Structure 1
Amino acid sequence: MRARIDEIVFDCHDPAPLARFWAGILGGDPVDRGPGWSYVDPPEGIRIAFQRVPEGKTAKNRVHLDLDAGDLVAAADAAVLLGAVRQGGVVADEQGRFQVLLDPEGNEFCFVSPGDGAPAG
């Protein structure tokens, strides 16, 4: 059997504003399917969806998105204007550079910039 990723779903407190934040990061139009479910279909990539859950986020994400937006610093600056929060500074290693940020509900994500042709993962 072989499966295909249909969408990535984030549990959250307030789906509609989170969909708008991520639409600002990834492009696409936010869609509110109901009070407890919103999503965005980025022009490039997989649907990102947000479902309301009663509990809050209490720990670091076990999975996060790595985003290559070209200019890592400019992308992080733009994300902050949309409501993201930086977590530390830009980190550089032999694979490239990355900046960890939190979305408005505290979900971690990274802007990445691969170095010397290395993959961004």
Structure 2
Amino acid sequence: MASVKQFQVTFDCAEPERVARFWCEVLGYVVPPPPEGFATWDDFDRSLPPERQGSAFACIDPSGVGPRLYFQRVPEGKVVKNRVHLDVRVGAGLVGEERLARLEDECARLVALGAVRVRLLPADGVDESCIVMRDIEGNEFDLD
């Protein structure tokens, strides 16, 4: 029988630390401690060659259950819809108006952090409602 593999989710972006800190706020993730021998991530970053400074950042689930999120700087901007996106499960187990209220509350919190609301996908008899959003660099995600 095959063993379950750990994985991380990698985001291409222009400003890795800024996007990572946004997702920390969205998910309740934290920035991991800096590498051994460095008091802060800024100290570590300054130790890198100039062309690598600010090129990557990560955040982790403090409980150790969720995947690590890794953000890497790329030269090109986002030009098409994501082929993979995160569903942020804030309404799990809720239906109808109670679910919509929970989604709307979380949407308002994330808009205050810089996210953009794209549209509400209302319940259709098969799937419950969700809200399509974009993070601070335009990456799509759903509030589900």
TM bucket (normalised to shorter chain) is 0.7 to 0.9
Per-residue Cα deviation, 1:51-104 (whole angstroms, up to 9, x for no partner): 000011000000000111132111111111111000023432222111000000
Q: What TM-score do the two structures reach when normalised by structure 2?
A: 0.71
Bigger strand share:
1
Aligned-residue offset at 1:30: 2.8
The one-letter amino acid of 2:114's match is G
Could you give the per-residue CA deviations for residues 23-70 of structure 1, whole angstroms, max 9, x where no partner exists?
Answer: 000112235574111111123511111000001100000000011113
Report the equivalent of 1:27. Answer: 28
Q: How many residue pairs are counted as aligned between the two chains? A: 112
Structure with more helix by fraction: 2
The letter of the residue matching 1:75 is E
Q: Measure the CA separation in 1 of the matches of 2:68 and 2:108.
A: 24
Q: Are 1:92 and 2:123 counterparts?
A: yes
User: Rg bigger for which structure?
Assistant: 2
The residue number in structure 2 matching 1:108 is 140
SS in structure 2 at match of 1:96: coil
Identity rate, percent: 40
In structure 1, stretches of 5+ residues that fail to align are 113-121
Give 2:61's match in structure 1, choosing from 42, 46, 62.
42
Structure 2: gaps (5+ residues):
33-40, 46-53, 92-101
RMSD: 1.8
Say which SS state the counterpart of residue 19 (structure 1) adopts: helix
Report the counterpart of residue 98 of structure 2 in structure 1: none
User: Is residue 120–residue 129 contact of structure 2 (8 Å, CA) maintained in 1?
Assistant: no
1:54 aligns to what?
Answer: 75
Specify which of 88, 109, 112 is matched with residue 81 of structure 1.
112
